[in-house]
Amino acid sequence: MKKVFLSFDFYGAGNIGDDLMLEGFLDCFTDSDIVFHCCVPRNYLHQQYRFQKVKFADEKKRFEISKECKIWIGVGDTPVQVKSGDWFINRLESDLEQINRTNPEYYFAGIGAEKEAAVRKDTFVKILFNVNHIWTRDKATADILINDFEISPEKISSSSDMANISLSRIFRDSEDYKSRRYDLGFCYYDEKSEEEDLKNTGSFLKKFRKGKILLFGNEVNKKGNFEYALYEKMFGGINKYLYRNVNIYTPDYFAEVNTEELVRHYSGCKTVMTSRYHALLTAAWAGCRVVSMERSSKVTALSEELGIKEIKKPFTPEKLKQGFEEAKVVDRNILLQMYRNASGSISELKKLIDNKL
């Protein structure tokens, strides 16, 4: 039996984008005899239900399980980042200690990098030096790794986000957006949101006269300073606005449901305005009119790749209104090329694994 260790441990924590990436990756291994192993520091029953090709286990078994795997893969997300805190770089540094002891082949697949992470360049370079090959989720990431972190171009292949693989299947037949229930689907998160930006965004939403609004989060946890906490700040107490023209939706992430169920609400939105990378990508595949809100270099890069407008900070009601008016449906050919890029990169990795095991 071929065993591969998935080294990232954030799966199942409540971020829907993580599930979309992992599912896209695994979709390329349906006919393979590889068994993937992953250790996470949380309940994983909902993940085991969704991803049956992965054997999940408790974090306490991480060393025991991973040392039996000759290949490690870091799948998805943005490991080269600092905006969300030190948790990811700490995980990578901890892994590096074990990698130096057991010497597995080490790969990154469909990952992102942010220019802001250059403040920790020395540490990231030390980590990336030990990665055998990196498939990035966009050209912008490849450029950042080569130019800002001075990683050898021979070690890097530019590709697309693996969520494109799962989303291409989920939204294979997206209906015309004009008949949908909600005029605006809104998903906003920023690690360092400014009070004035939140106030002005709240003013735009409260005065929205174009129809119904659906507020939702790509991160479903209501504890912590994620989407739902920011909505409370925007509205100054959201409950009094519900049932007017504003609804709020939380997918049942921790239940034993498939990934398609977690993103079905996009099919009910005519337009989606978001600062979240995977909310933007999902809305594009769902056939919504889309416009992004500035947050970090990765969202800016995706907006450029999709050919859509990004609303720049500082946010004002006028800017947000204009952004809504200028939102547009993404050219399907752009999305299909991203799908081909992503699936092609995993095919390369799959051949490499087969040759190594």
Grade residue 233 by pLDDT with cuts at 50, 70 and 90. Answer: very high
CB 316 within 8 A of CB 278: no
Both 229 and 208 in one domain: the answer is yes
Work out the mean pLDDT of the chain and round it to a whole number: 95
Grade residue 162 by pLDDT with cuts at 50, 70 and 90. Answer: very high
Give the structural domain span for 68: 2-168+337-356
Both 257 and 315 in one domain: the answer is yes
Question: Is pLDDT of 212 > 70?
Answer: yes
Q: What confidence score (pLDDT) does residue 243 get?
A: 63
Q: What confidence score (pLDDT) does residue 192 get?
A: 87
CATH number, domain containing residue 314: 3.40.50.2000
Cα–Cα distance, 55 to 70 (Å, whole number): 16
- Comparison of pLDDT for 184 and 225, the residue scoring more: 184
Cα–Cα distance, 93 to 70 (Å, whole number): 19
Report the share of the chain in percent with pLDDT over 70: 99
Both 85 and 207 in one domain: the answer is no
Both 161 and 266 in one domain: the answer is no
Both 60 and 101 in one domain: the answer is yes
Grade residue 238 by pLDDT with cuts at 50, 70 and 90. Answer: confident
Q: What is the pLDDT of residues 255-307, one digit of tens each?
A: 999 999 999 999 999 999 999 999 999 999 999 999 999 999 899 999 999 99
Both 88 and 149 in one domain: the answer is yes
Both 113 and 21 in one domain: the answer is yes
Both 205 and 271 in one domain: the answer is yes
Both 148 and 194 in one domain: the answer is no
Residues near 168 by Cβ (< 8 Å), separated by ≥ 6? 285, 335, 336, 339
Query: Tokens standing for 293?
Result: 């809100």
Question: Is pLDDT of 145 > 70?
Answer: yes
CB-based burial label for 119 (10 Å; 0-12, 13-18, 19+): exposed
CATH number, domain containing residue 156: 3.40.50
Domain total in the chain: 2
Q: What confidence score (pLDDT) does residue 176 get?
A: 85
Grade residue 224 by pLDDT with cuts at 50, 70 and 90. Answer: confident
CB 75 within 8 A of CB 18: no
Both 86 and 38 in one domain: the answer is yes
Q: What confidence score (pLDDT) does residue 353 get?
A: 93
Both 101 and 213 in one domain: the answer is no
Helices 16-27 and 277-285 pack at an angle, to 10 degrees, of: 60
Q: Pseudo-torsion of CA 285, 8, 258, 179, nearest 10°?
A: -20
Both 156 and 16 in one domain: the answer is yes
